[in-house]
A and B are shown apart, each in its own frame.
Chain A
Amino acid sequence: MAEETGQTPVPFRGGGFQPGARRWAPWAAFAAIIAGWQLASSTGLLPPLIMPSPYEVVLALGHLAASGDLTEHVGASLSRIAWGWSIGTLAGLGVGFAMGIWSLARSAGIPVVAALFPIPKIALLPLLILWLGIDEAPKIATIALGVFFPTVIGTYSAVDNVPRSLIRMAQSFNLPNPAIVWKVILPGAMPGILAAFRITSSIALILLVAAEMIGAEFGIGSFILAAGNLMQTDQLVAGVVLLSILGLTISFVLGRVEAWLLNWR
């Protein structure tokens, strides 16, 4: 018919490049990975020396739960993360706001943060032990330090991203400075701060293993370390799975908090 009428449809060239959400996809991805892994283990393609099978990992987790150690490990780690993250975040928010608002704090703070941020916190462990002992304090401090710097950077960039026009507006209505910080800058910086929270919560989990290297009887990190030292790879992977679950949970909670706090977007 195209030849008959001399008409051809205009080809469609749009579409694509618009990743959307598929609800089933994450579950399918996990299922596929685990199924493939179990298949490789069962067929001997993946020898137990190299990697335990998912079934063994589940057994190890079940064993851990049955012995009651699971709650001890998770409880100890959660409390360290909660304390360390909260302290690091509060301090980071304070310093980040100061750097976002005052020229002196910014000029002094940026080079100091740039110098201290890249230091691997694990390298400071011996010092932390000398200063703080081997009980909970150095473990919390390790996490708090790891969380502090990204929070500072995230916060002051978030403050920078608050439109200046809003601050000028507030000044034009004679809002006092504390009110400008509280009513304009803090909510305006909230998207950036929450993005930083996503990063720092992951950092807290990553540092958990380092934090629990020294003198920890319980904790997911110390459990993973011990399993590694004992070459109990099924328990090692079980511990890693616990960390992943913790990470997913925290990410889910943060997503909810974001949806609630940023409903205006």
Chain B
Amino acid sequence: MNNKKLVVAALAGLICVALAGPARAADKIVICALTFVSSSPLFIAADKGYYADEGLEPEFKFFRAAQPVALGVASGDCDFGVTGLTAGFYNLAGKGALKIIGAQSRVEPGFDFVAYMASNKAYDAGLTSVEAYPGKSVGMTQVGSTFHYMMGRLAEKRGFALADVTLKPMQSVPNMIAAVKSGQVDSILMVAHIAKALDGAGAAKIIGWVHQETPWQLGALFTSTWNVTERREMVEKFIAAYRRAATDYHAAFNQLDKDGKRTFGEAADALIPILMNYVGPKPTPAKIKAGAPFIDPDGRLRVQDIYDQVAWHKANGLVDDSVDPSAFIDLSFVDGHYDVPGN
């Protein structure tokens, strides 16, 4: 390569860098989320124009893992995010850049959302209920994930030590599914629509549901600390739109009949086409129903539960001792949060 070519290459590189850095419009908000049914209120508010009603212009950025969503909000690339609450999230929140301002999905009695599953081999060998967990191996995504936490809480409730099960980090849900199908782990925890499909296909067995054992506040809506202090009005507008959409969602997906069984009426049928535009990979209406979690209609959090989660993670060495939940939960945007710890 001669010098002239080098100069041309360098100039081409500079031009690319210059073109790649667009200016961000001031009236826009950036919403970061996963393309899961649990992100539904965000999608409904966009589709029904609730953001526009509040004078907001939303832009979605979709991620394939929860961690980048939280990092995106912390770094200021995203204004709002919703994801499950993990040890990693709490450690990041503990550094002061994030504020939880409302609720997302909750594991609520009567609503199938996460299942305990046994591999066929382990099921035949006696892993037919959650009491039989000690001595078994359990596949999860990552250390400190919601799966890890749910397993820990189950151990506490059922009176065995978490150390009695072998936790195997597999990094991704597809890896977990492959491992339980082939019997390389005895068990996994799995979200409902996949769990039911696996069980229905005879690839693995559902042996219980988390909502029957340890209901908890699984997901949250959060924004950056900078937004809370500097753009409070915008955050309030966003919350208003989010709560309207959550109310719609509640009417469609959070319903139980008088026997305690879930029902989906016309309201659900009306919302499902909207959600199908956002949820990926391209779902069927049945999959949306199976994967729909309970989401509080007003964005109210089970606050004490979050304190308990942080305490559990700390006790297991997954969250730094310095992390203080009261510092990263802002209760001022939503009225009527549950179980607010007294000062």
Contacts and interface: CB of A to CB of B under 8 A. Distances in A.
Direct contact, A vs B (beta carbon within 8 Å): yes
Interface of A: 48-49, 125-126, 129-130, 133-134, 213-217, 222, 225-226, 228-232
Nearest to B91: A231
Contacts, number: 77
B120 to A, nearest CB: 16
A191 B286 CA distance: 64
Contact of B175 (A48, A126, A225): A126
B320 to A, nearest CB: 7
Contact of A229 (B96, B139, B145, B182): B145
B179 A134 contact: yes
12 contacts: A49-B74, A49-B92, A49-B96, A129-B178, A129-B182, A215-B179, A217-B168, A225-B143, A226-B143, A228-B67, A230-B91, A231-B95
A126 B174 contact: yes
Closest 4 CB pairs of A and B: A231-B91, A226-B143, A215-B168, A229-B142
B169 interface: yes
Contacts of B89: 231
Nearest to A126: B178
A231 B29 CA distance: 25
B144 A230 contact: yes
In this complex, the interface size class of chain B, counting residues with CB under 8 Å from chain A, is 20 to 34
Given A49-B74, A49-B97, A215-B170, A229 B175 contact: no
B82 to A, nearest CB: 18
B100 interface: no
B182 A130 contact: yes
Interface of B: 67, 70, 74, 86-89, 91-92, 95-97, 139, 142-145, 166-171, 174-175, 178-179, 182, 184-185, 318-320
Given A226-B142, A229-B143, A231-B91, A134 B171 contact: no
Contacts of A230: 87-88, 91, 143-144, 318-319
Contact of B179 (A129, A225, A226, A229): A129
B169 A222 contact: yes
Given A126-B178, A130-B182, A213 B91 contact: no
A225 B169 contact: yes
Given A134-B184, A214-B175, A230-B87, 9 more contacts: A49-B95, A49-B96, A49-B97, A129-B184, A213-B170, A214-B169, A215-B170, A222-B169, A232-B320
Nearest to B148: A229
A37 B144 CA distance: 29
Given A214-B170, A225-B169, A231 B92 contact: yes
A216 B95 CA distance: 28
A226 B169 contact: yes
Nearest to B185: A134
Given A213-B171, A225-B171, A232 B91 contact: yes
A64 to B, nearest CB: 11
Nearest to B65: A229
B184 A229 contact: no
A229 B178 contact: no
Contact of A215 (B95, B169, B318): B169
A232 B179 CA distance: 28
Given A126-B174, A214-B175, A229-B144, A133 B88 contact: no
Contacts of A133: 184
A216 B92 contact: no
A216 B92 CA distance: 24
A108 B185 CA distance: 40
A226 B86 CA distance: 12
A155 B319 CA distance: 48
B126 to A, nearest CB: 21
A238 B135 CA distance: 32
Contact of B88 (A49, A222, A229): A229
A113 B179 CA distance: 30
A117 to B, nearest CB: 24
A229 B170 contact: no
Nearest to A50: B75
A80 to B, nearest CB: 15
Nearest to B145: A229
A63 B162 CA distance: 23
A134 B178 CA distance: 11
Contacts of B184: 129, 133-134, 215
Contacts of A125: 175
B316 to A, nearest CB: 11
B322 to A, nearest CB: 11
Contacts of A130: 178, 182
A61 B70 CA distance: 26
A215 B172 CA distance: 11
A36 to B, nearest CB: 22
B223 to A, nearest CB: 16
B70 to A, nearest CB: 8
Contacts of A214: 168-171, 175
A229 B67 contact: yes
B174 to A, nearest CB: 7
Nearest to B144: A230
Contacts of B167: 217
B95 A48 contact: yes
A78 to B, nearest CB: 20
Q: A48, A130, A222: which has the most chain B beta carbons within 10 Å? A: A130
Contacts of B170: 134, 213-215
